[in-house]
Amino acid sequence: TKIAVFASGNGSNFQAIADAIAAGNLEAELMLVVTDKPKAFVLERAKKAGVASFSFIPSEYDSKQSYEEMLKGKLQALGVEWVVLAGYMRLIGPVLLEAYENRIVNIHPSVLPAFPGKDAIGQTLAAEAINAGVTVHYVDAGMDTGHIIAQQSFPVLGRGREKVEQQIHQIEHELYPATLQQLFDR
């Protein structure tokens, strides 16, 4: 299965996917990493993993429609079948949603529908929620509102932010590759 990963930051989830492919645990081909942040660390990771990358600056385009048309062209030229969002900090618009209907997924660090949007871990802690966790979901036009595919949660038990973050990332790095494999097997 040919995939593209969209990321805006560190890219540890990209790394987990690349590692799972290299280990033979995920049958997929990383065609492209796309970022809207030309300095994002994910670009270093892509280079090291030998994966092609593409950076763009959204403000250099007239509209979301125009940069998504450009991205769609690149993805289609590479034969990309699924778009995997991994810390991509932008909403996907109609152009990509229509081109990749039910073929765009995201990972979010909360037990959705609780705490969508930015800083979900901060929101979880501020609310003194009993459970923290991770959700993999299909992407629709909303913010973290698409159909849920997989979730994993754990009790917060009064731990500090760093510990909770660490647990979230550990779960993400297992759950995302495993869930992608299940989707691609269908």
Q: How many residues does the chain have?
A: 186
108 is catalytic: yes
**Stretch of 6-14, 56-64, 72-80, 93-101 contacting ligand GRF, by CB under 6 A:** 6-14
Q: Which is nearer to ligand GRF, 69 or 121 (CB)?
A: 121
Cα–Cα distance list, 128 to 23, 115, 157 (Å):
38, 12, 10
- Closest to 68 measured CA to CA, from 96, 28, 99: 96
Query: Does the protein bind ligand GRF through residue 68 (CB under 6 A)?
Result: no
Tokens encoding 52: 């092609």
Query: Does the protein bind ligand GRF through residue 11 (CB under 6 A)?
Result: yes
d(CA 78, CA 71): 11
**Stretch of 5-13, 52-60, 63-71, 151-159 contacting ligand GRF, by CB under 6 A:** 5-13
Interface residue with ligand GRF among 4, 84, 86, 164 (CB under 6 A) is: 86
Query: Does the protein bind ligand GRF through residue 108 (CB under 6 A)?
Result: yes
* Contact between residue 148 and residue 135 where contact means Cβ atoms under 8 Å apart: yes
User: For the window 133-172, what string marks contact with ligand GRF as x by the rule CB under 6 A?
Assistant: ---------------------------------------x
**Stretch of 11-19, 46-54, 60-68, 94-102 contacting ligand GRF, by CB under 6 A:** 11-19
Residues with Cβ within 8 Å of 83's Cβ and at least 6 positions away in sequence, in order, are 3, 4, 6, 75, 92, 96, 100, 103, 104, 105, 139
